[in-house]
Amino acid sequence: MRQFADTEILSELVHDALGAGRRVVSVDRLRGGSQKGVYRARLDGTRTESVIVYSWSEDENYWPSTGESDPADPADPFAPASGMVQFLTAQRTLHGLGVRVPRVLLADDSRRRSPADFAVVEDVSGGTLEALFETDPERAAGALGGLAEMLGVMHRDRSRNYGGVGLREHGDCVSGVPCERRVLDRALGHLKEAAARDGSIAAAESALRDRLEQLAERVSPRQEYGLIHGELGPDHVLVDVDGRPVLIDIEGLMYFDIEWEHVFLRLRFHERYAALSRSDLDPRRLDLYMLAMRLSLVAGPLRLLDGDFPGRAFMRGVAVHNAKEALALLSQA
């Protein structure tokens, strides 16, 4: 049985972050996360009504172990990106560029309270951009424009090597594998994995494999990469009291083809993507990455369902939808 962070531990962390004079009156574990626990601690008084506590522990991570990434290859951008070190590096990188992220009030990797790393961060109280699209379209439109500017800043921050931001910060090794080859190899692995779990993908496995390889052959090499979030949907954008977008779930921040970011943006923002689009993207990369992303969104959710992830109906729906979309891409060949 999974053991989540208890109120006593969270209260101690908040006291360390804000001072012993602040009292935690309630704690809620927020739903939706699959790699870390996210808790809202409500406080007495009016100066700071609440803070967010992140908890990285094995019990908070629902993802089964997978061999798709080589842990011995630190340049692999798709290696698991979860943990306090990744979060702090990403937070520091984005803050340095002027990109709004939650302020860090405390980082604790002492593990003297429990076998977990913790961070206490600002609670951005304006809600998600996804929710604002429905409740306050005018405010959401302003935040969406701010997000487009923010993405422009990130994507213009260039690196001659791709990979997680920690590689650049610490000067680690450079990958000899072309960026697009990484995507192809990963997609072929996801195809095999999805075919073992989904009959519709299994029936078209050969055609999908051929299509992936054809698309990859059309992509020309590239020597420069932009800074991307990697999984930027409207649920990963909060809006602060001033209407500014705030990025969360930033542990996967990396230098990579910005087309990978834009494929995900297109999938998650739907008709609102037009406000985020740009005209200088490589259409051949977009084609390869779209099919690769669809297969990832079949294999990943189905793998998650091998465990005890609680949002089972939602994840099953994600897998079914993206299987249909992947097969639809074959008809566009």
Give the global pTM: 0.92
How many CA atoms lie less than 13 Å away from 47 in the CB half-sphere?
5
pLDDT digits (tens, 9 = 90+) for 182-208: 999 999 999 999 999 999 999 999 999
43 domain-assigned: yes
Domain-embedded: residue 107: yes
Q: Is residue 127 situated within a structural domain?
A: yes
Containing domain of residue 223, as a range?
A: 7-330
When divided into structural domains, the chain yields a total of 1
Say if CB 296 and CB 192 are below 8 A apart: no
Q: What pLDDT does 307 receive?
A: 77
Residue 300 lies in a domain: yes
In a domain, 172, yes or no: yes
Neighbours of 242 (CB within 10 A): 10
Burial of 1 (0-12, 13-18, 19+ CB in 10 A): exposed
CATH code: domain of residue 204: 3.90.1200.10
Residue 62 domain-assigned (yes or no): yes
Is there a domain that residue 1 lies in? no
The string of pLDDT tens digits covering residues 245-278 is 999 999 999 999 999 999 999 999 999 999 999 9
Distance (Å, whole) CA 51 – CA 24: 10
In a domain, 55, yes or no: yes
